[in-house]
Structure 1
């Protein structure tokens, strides 16, 4: 599972309205019948109108400066393995979102009127999406780019021949273009992967818009706080502050596993990501210490995420010296794509 929390910006500045983001999240509904659309929802309501989403979020930023985020975007992207555990992507992810937001509020070290904040203290709206498109930064698009450039050059040459500006063998040129299309290393359903192409398979994921201010529009609740949960003394008074992302990410994973009976492999766990970042030797040691079946699953997961599969030394000394050097770069990519992101 991959989770990100980001403030929404527009041209380098914080967005003063959620309208553009809401419009962006409505893109999948275009051309669909009413019964096939995915609507905004929150903890207690379904099929919430986009106008109400904009009105509620935009009207809930009292005393916030233009240099401060008005709202945050939380994106939850379950892995292929996690999605297979669901019976109904829309229904199940909606139920999971509502449990996840309980984890969100408990990750704040804040109080409102002397009481810990609850789910009723946050204002959020969420939406399920089922499509993802390849971006220009994706590995598949970048590695196909040299072929895309040659194909474009040949197509431009072909058009000039067809207009009579140049002379050449049209049939041979078309054959060359077709050959380049087939030679591109990354294909999907027999076609070269290009920027904007929809990704194949189940791509269901969740977008959450959460207001920076609490539901009463009086208290600032920032998941982007640079402070972890801590107590400080300000003006002689003890004050609670901060948001613990570490706790949020770990609990988000646990909630999913409990809710859907998911048996999580070490390689896709939040603990694995932390181990890899803080102690690579421990990460590889635990990885190699898994049972035969679990180890096979782990390397299958990492392999699909971009890990260059090589012969892994089984000796712990070799593991610490050789394997880390050879695999660290590949596993770093795999970890980012298969685990909860920080």
Structure 2
């Protein structure tokens, strides 16, 4: 499970409307018949139109400055193992979203009129998507890049030969290109994986747009707060503040596991991913204590995530050399950090 929380826009001033973002989330509906459309939904409603989402989010930003985000985007990406547990991706993920957003509000250390905030105090809309494309940040694209660069150079050479500005054998260069296409390490359906290519398999995931202001358009609720759960004295009164991201991510996993009876492997846990970055010795020590079957699955999951693997599984703690930790961390740090704010 990978969850990202991002503000409306990073840096500078913010658009006064959510229309562009909502329009982006409508991209998969283009060309589909009415019965196949994926609609926006919230805690209590289904089949909500994009126009209604824009109107409601845009009308809920009272007193926010141009330098403050009007909404936050939460993206929830279950792994293929988690998706395999679902019976119906769309309906099951809707059900899960509604549980997830209860954990979201519970992670705020805030009160409204002297009581903890509840699901009815936030304004959010969500949408299920079923497609993903390869991006430049994906390890498959990065590791295929040297081949892509050589292929592009050969294409440029062929154009120059055809125009008469370069001497050479076109057929020979075409054979070189075909060889590079085959040798690229990451392939899908017999073709080199390139940026923009649609990913195979079940790629269902959730996009959530949540207003910065509470449902009454009075209080500001920021999941990007730098403060964890704490109290501060303001004007002689103690005020609760902060958003506990660790609690949210861990609760999100527990909610999925409870809802669908999912047996989560060690390598899939938020705590394990966090230890991987901050305490690699603890991470691998815990990994080596797993039963054989769970350990094998953990290494399989790590490999699928693009984490560089050790030549062989070490037998003793002494073999977990620091240089191996550092190599593994460099290979996975970006992907793991992108799964949350502030690991």
What TM-score range do you get, normalising by the shorter chain? over 0.9
Task: Specify the SS of the correspondent of 2:56.
Answer: helix
State the Cα deviation string for residues 201-254 of structure 1 (Å, max 9, x = none).
111111100000001101111111111111222111121111111111110010
Q: How does 1:284-295 map to 2 (within 5 A)?
A: 284-295=284-295
> For 1:334 and 1:193, how far apart are their aligned partners in 2?
20
TM-score (structure 2 length as normaliser): 0.92
Asked if 2 retains the 8 angstrom alpha-carbon contact of 1:181 and 1:192, the reply is: yes
Q: How does 1:1-342 map to 2 (within 5 A)?
A: 1-9=1-9, 12-162=12-162, 168-305=168-305, 306-319=307-320, 322=321, 324-330=322-328, 333-334=331-332, 337=335, 341-342=340-341
> For 1:177 and 1:231, how far apart are their aligned partners in 2?
62
State the Cα deviation string for residues 55-111 of structure 1 (Å, max 9, x = none).
000110000001111100001011111111111111111110000000001111111
CA gap of 1:165–1:272, structure 2 versus 1, over 3 A, is closer
Asked if 2 retains the 8 angstrom alpha-carbon contact of 1:302 and 1:331, the reply is: no
> For 2:119 and 2:266, how far apart are their aligned partners in 1?
30
CA gap of 1:159–1:94, structure 2 versus 1, over 3 A, is same
CA gap of 1:292–1:331, structure 2 versus 1, over 3 A, is farther
| Structure 2 gap ranges (5+) | none
State the Cα deviation string for residues 20-52 of structure 1 (Å, max 9, x = none).
111111111111111111111101111111111
Task: Specify the SS of the correspondent of 2:298.
Answer: helix
Q: After the TM superposition, which of the residue ranges 125-134 and 9-18 deviates more from structure 2? A: 9-18
Shift of 1:154: 2.3
State the Cα deviation string for residues 293-316 of structure 1 (Å, max 9, x = none).
111111111122223232233223
Q: CA RMSD in A?
A: 2.1
- How many residues align? The count is 339
> For 2:239 and 2:75, how far apart are their aligned partners in 1?
30
CA gap of 1:206–1:238, structure 2 versus 1, over 3 A, is same
Task: Specify the SS of the correspondent of 2:125.
Answer: strand
> For 2:256 and 2:326, how far apart are their aligned partners in 1?
28
TM-score (structure 1 length as normaliser): 0.92
